[in-house]
Structure 1
Amino acid sequence: MGPVGLFPLWVLLSYPDVLLAAPAPPEDAPHHLPEPGRFWHITDLHLDATYHLADDPTKVCFSSKGAPAIKAGIYGDFLCDSPYSLIQSAFTHMSQVTPRADFIIWTGDSPPHVPAGELSTSMVIQLIRNMSETLRDHFPRLPVFPALGNHDYWPQDQMPTSTNAIYQAAAKLWAPWLQDQALSTLREGGFYSQLARPGLRVVSLNTILYYGPDKATANDTDPAGQYRWLEATLDNATQNLEKVFIIAHVPIGYLPFARDITAIRQPHNERLVSIFRKYSHVIAGHFYGHTHRDSLMVLLDPDGEPLSSIFVSPAVTPIKRVLEPYSNNPAFRMYLYHGSDFTPLDIWQYYLNLTEANQRQRADWRREYVMTEAFGLKDLRPQSLLRLALSFQLPRANSFDKYFSHFMVSYDDSIHCAKDCKLSQVCAVLHLDHEAYSQCVGGRGVQDSFALL
């Protein structure tokens, strides 16, 4: 199976589990199997401290940039970033869910989407402090592994390659969670690694250094020496028989809601994909934020064999642009992972129906889906996710429609994604490097496959 576009029907038929999805494992699993671990993933909180219910809908929040938030309620509006009440309600619900999690990963972006003139370095630090302290208040004994987002700097996106006030402030604020070695590299470059539990290492990357709008790194082939550090860290993890969770704000791969656009600069995307293929034997999973949407990717080798499972978690903030056709309901999630090899087993996705919460003036967070149940998967290992992605191409399959509804966090089930929209989505799931993705969106084999849909 080569890296040519989407997969033709004969490939789909060679994966019979796509046609008849494997059932979820029985509840009475053998007792000798290790108990699954659990961790929370939160991302893109984007606190807008200016949010308030006002008679003038254009004055509800700075993050709407003057657009009228006519449906604003106590938990927010789809044209605004998160009010504090929304974030508090999310953390409160997380703290009440049982069984308890082992740790939290937090993939960045505390400040709101406002013009640079509305913020400053000290204000950004205060917002990160506010969110850090709010997390500690709700989870005083739970380790938290943060990653910096593109809004966690002022001006936004312009992450430098050496120590600065933001990196140093983050290290001070996150010192209760991180050890000295992790804090040292965090202060210098905004990245770190640390054991989450014996045998499992969290590697928190600063992918803002590779982000297109970051002018500070535009001509740098290895900003802050992060590539050199990453490969050394993965080499050491291999030698120490550790598995690794990669966490970061901006994901690798292509944006699923656009065409031919990588989330980070294309040369950096190619280099990271190459590194992650090389070390796929040690990487148990990838976890990102930034896009505000719920999506997944499967890292394939050049012959099309699945190597790694990659997850992009939806945002807590519900904000969208005025002309954007859809948004996301606020969300967070819990992952279940294998107790021995640390591979992802399942996702419990929680969400808040924002419209309903504002109408009832009550935040009824509930489970949106359990991924293995929603798609009939055995687990979330790369082979399982490849089968799911292949099923998106099958004639009259409803798996993709369900996937796209979750992509929007159940925002509006009347919105459908077909033809070019679906092609962009599926190619982004299956192909992370330039050559394979280009063939997917433009290759003849793709057109033949989609003629069946």
Structure 2
Amino acid sequence: MLATHIYFLVALTRIASSVNIQPSTFTAPGTFPTSVFSKYYNNPTATSAQPQPVVSDPATHEIYPLALTDPNTIPINNTVDPHPLPPAASSAKIFEAAIAQLKSISESPIFSGDTCGRCQAILEVAKFVSLSTPSNGPAFFIQFCNTFKLSSNCNVAYGQFSGIGSVLTQVVANADVGGYDGQALCQNFFSMCPAPPTLPLDLSSWFSKPKPNPLPAPTKCSGNRLNVLHLSDLHLDPRYLTGAEANCTSGLCCRKNNTNTQSPNIVLSPAPRYGAYRCDTPLSLALAALQAIPALTGTKDNGFAWTIYTGDLVSHDPDNQLSRDYVEYTETIVFDLFKKMLGSGPVYAALGNHDSYNQAQDAPHSLGGALAQQFSWNYDHVAGLWKHENWLPQAAVALARAHYAAYMVKRVDGLRIITLNTDMWYRANYFNYLNMTNPDNSGMLRFLTDELEDAEDAGDKVWIIGHVLTGWDGTNPLKNPTNLFYQIVDRFSPHVVANIFFGHTHEDQINIFYSNNATTMSADTAGAVSWVRYSTFFLKCLFSELYIQMGPSITPLTNLNSGFRVYEVDSATFEIMDAHTWRSDVNTFSSLDSQTAVGPTYGYEYNTRETYGSSISGWGVDDPLNATWWHRVTEAMEADSSLVTTFNTLQGKSSVRTKPCTGDCITAKICYMRSGSVPIAMQNCKQGFGSVQS
């Protein structure tokens, strides 16, 4: 017991000296900080409505009109910038494709299942329509939807302007619908086929050279720590209507157009001005969080060494309420707020699945022509904003414009930041269902591998930043790309890749990577082979296998508290030495409506090392929180399920709505923590316990 107390005392001393935590809580002012913007469309200090700033886009030089974000006039059918349809095919092209698909159908083993065979046969007809008369493609999919009752409003879901009919027309026109692509489409979007298998990888020519053996001499810990901020999933809702229904029956709540069907004419739960559990982030909550960060972390004067943002700026609107202007508005205002509120350090941001229009859609360059460039408006826009904020050098800006908004930055301290557009492995991106037998049909993982090889040659460390995680319970990404990503991480760990960060789930989670595709999960395989050769505590800071950190979200959606995290990072190894998480209790927000004295309070939730460290013997305060450490945490969880209970509570940022984790949930959570790819998660873990949201 005495040793434990001494451990905590030393740990808390390290916390205070490194992160310079100020008060344990920060309460935002009760009135909106009007100086943040120069002009407003309404009175920003009124408590009855959210502020509506006049936003000027430095990249497009456009001033966004009030009608774009007015919660009382939400547009429901954007016809200004639909996705282009593929060009009509020649008769020769139609014949060639028909013969190829006929052959594919005749050889496919899928037709032993009638429902699946029916779906793929329908896609064959859809392919013919999409090639011969693409203007009728969306109408065909509307009829397909009505026939099989795939949506309550097929015109909206599959129309050209308000839905994804034009996207499906593009995809089916180019997909092998009689083979793997078609089976995956029918499984993921129409629930008419079983999931296709994970395909074997041929890595014989993927890497230009084998992994070094022995590995390069390890970098020693410097003992100097950098403070790095991790933000994720802000999901700003500029159409948030204070006083609207906060407990709506379906869709995004706190909106004028979404009610509770039990009482459609009376608001049962009025939306507080700072947010609610079934709603995205109102501007008032976003500002409260950004005011709290420097006050709580002691970074008012110097800012952070850098900030990582792991995606999702835009609110959870249905496609028919979205537009390019709405996405660009959100990107503009959020990045501008980061620049104003977080200090001088650069922000390295990755796009989330909601940071696109249509949401979750991004097309691979392999489509060719104009179709390959149909999302370049977004890549150009965010690259222009990152240049305007002076976060990226020109080379990274150019790379982001040309490569799905993904880029590499080489910092002067020897760390390289590589960001990825993870829509390229996200299940909801229809374009990923083209040429699925290629695990990298977008070239994103080729880009990552080439950058890692350059870093290896230069002796640099790398942080990888993306949005959609590759593993956990395996429900979000696709099998084949994440299988390849896992092998890439293994090839370049631990001597190149220092850390990986994702967002997307809104929850506080981690994933551990193991060598040899996790054939053996142990403390030894979670640490590089070279690590076990050393015996001193100091050298624990030299080598480790990787784990992935999923950052907590600012948005409360769904039934979560709002939070952010700061890492203590060693300045030489770029290992995480400690992590500190703050959160605000959304359950208290309704009590703030009738006064203007105070706003939300953000308070210190937990310290990672302190919370789990007492369970790990022989791990000192100067040893990193690497994958070996996390694997030992999971072993401690197997011996003491109360640690999983703690993890489950923190996963939802201590929300009062987080349900307890018992029985099968205990073993499932440990399994998810050890699963860095979809195949590993699906093969090893019991499903149904991945999220604490309800």
TM range (shorter): 0.7 to 0.9
- Which residue, 227, 247, 253 being the options, matches 2:465? 247
Mean alpha-carbon deviation: is it higher for 298-307 or for 380-389?
298-307
**Structure 1 residue 278 and structure 2 residue 491: aligned?**
yes
Report the equivalent of 1:315. 553
The SS at the match of 2:513 is strand
Mean alpha-carbon deviation: is it higher for 167-176 or for 422-431?
422-431
Shift of 1:140: 4.6
Report the equivalent of 1:169. 381
- Which residue, 362, 382, 393 being the options, matches 1:179? 393
Amino acid at match of 1:409: K
State how far apart, in whole Å, the 2-side matches of 1:112 and 1:439 are.
Answer: 33
Would the aligned equivalents of 1:48 and 1:63 in 2 still touch at CA under 8 Å? no
Report the equivalent of 1:42. 231
The SS at the match of 2:278 is coil
- Which residue, 324, 333, 354 being the options, matches 2:586? 354
Report the equivalent of 1:269. 482
**Residues paired across the two proteins, number:** 411
Report the equivalent of 1:231. 449
Task: Find the structure with the greater CA-based Rg.
Answer: 2
How big is each residue's C-alpha offset from its partner over 1:69-117, in whole Å with a ceiling of 9 and x where there is no partner?
A: 7153121011110000111111111122215420111111111111111
Would the aligned equivalents of 1:75 and 1:357 in 2 still touch at CA under 8 Å? yes
**Structure 1 residue 148 and structure 2 residue 351: aligned?**
yes
The SS at the match of 1:252 is coil
State how far apart, in whole Å, the 2-side matches of 1:150 and 1:86 are.
Answer: 22
Shift of 1:355: 1.8
Report the equivalent of 1:424. 668
5 Å matches for 1:396-415?
396-412=640-656, 415=659
Shift of the 56–77 alpha-carbon distance from structure 1 to 2, 3 Å rule, reads closer
Would the aligned equivalents of 2:553 and 2:563 in 1 still touch at CA under 8 Å? yes
How big is each residue's C-alpha offset from its partner over 1:56-77, in whole Å with a ceiling of 9 and x where there is no partner?
A: 6559633994346715312101
State how far apart, in whole Å, the 1-side matches of 2:587 and 2:546 are.
Answer: 36
Amino acid at match of 2:507: R
State how far apart, in whole Å, the 2-side matches of 1:33 and 1:430 are.
Answer: 29
Shift of the 277–363 alpha-carbon distance from structure 1 to 2, 3 Å rule, reads same
Shift of 1:436: 4.4
Would the aligned equivalents of 1:252 and 1:262 in 2 still touch at CA under 8 Å? no
Question: Aligned Cα RMSD in Å?
Answer: 2.6
Report the equivalent of 1:328. 560
State how far apart, in whole Å, the 2-side matches of 1:33 and 1:229 are.
Answer: 31
Would the aligned equivalents of 1:203 and 1:244 in 2 still touch at CA under 8 Å? yes
Shift of 1:174: 0.9
Identity of counterpart residues, as a percentage? 24
Report the equivalent of 1:6. none
Mean alpha-carbon deviation: is it higher for 421-430 or for 215-224?
215-224
Report the equivalent of 1:61. 254
Q: Say which structure is richer in strand.
A: 1
Report the equivalent of 1:375. 612
Shift of 1:366: 1.1
State how far apart, in whole Å, the 1-side matches of 2:244 and 2:513 are.
Answer: 49
State how far apart, in whole Å, the 1-side matches of 2:280 and 2:292 are.
Answer: 19
5 Å matches for 1:12-23?
23=7
Shift of the 64–420 alpha-carbon distance from structure 1 to 2, 3 Å rule, reads farther
Report the equivalent of 2:637. 392
Report the equivalent of 1:204. 419
Normalising by structure 1, we get a TM-score of: 0.84
Shift of the 144–65 alpha-carbon distance from structure 1 to 2, 3 Å rule, reads same
The SS at the match of 1:269 is helix
Amino acid at match of 1:310: I
State how far apart, in whole Å, the 2-side matches of 1:254 and 1:351 are.
Answer: 23
Q: Structure 2: any 5+ residue segments left out of the alignment?
A: 19-220, 261-266, 366-372, 527-544, 593-597, 615-619, 687-694
- Which residue, 290, 298, 318 being the options, matches 1:98? 298
Amino acid at match of 2:579: I
Amino acid at match of 1:271: L
How big is each residue's C-alpha offset from its partner over 1:362-409, in whole Å with a ceiling of 9 and x where there is no partner?
A: 211111001111112643111111111121211x44211111100010
Report the equivalent of 1:447. none
Shift of 1:298: 1.0
State how far apart, in whole Å, the 2-side matches of 1:43 and 1:52 are.
Answer: 23
Would the aligned equivalents of 1:93 and 1:365 in 2 still touch at CA under 8 Å? yes
Report the equivalent of 1:295. 509
Q: Structure 1: any 5+ residue segments left out of the alignment?
A: 1-19, 256-260, 321-326, 443-453
Mean alpha-carbon deviation: is it higher for 373-382 or for 277-286?
373-382
The SS at the match of 2:650 is helix
Shift of the 365–343 alpha-carbon distance from structure 1 to 2, 3 Å rule, reads same
State how far apart, in whole Å, the 1-side matches of 2:326 and 2:590 are.
Answer: 29
5 Å matches for 1:104-119?
104-119=307-322
Report the equivalent of 2:362. 159
State how far apart, in whole Å, the 1-side matches of 2:472 and 2:14 are.
Answer: 40
Amino acid at match of 1:300: Y
State how far apart, in whole Å, the 2-side matches of 1:104 and 1:411 are.
Answer: 25
Shift of 1:42: 0.6
Normalising by structure 2, we get a TM-score of: 0.56
Report the equivalent of 1:324. none
How big is each residue's C-alpha offset from its partner over 1:144-199, in whole Å with a ceiling of 9 and x where there is no partner?
A: 10000000001101112244111110110111211122112211222111024411
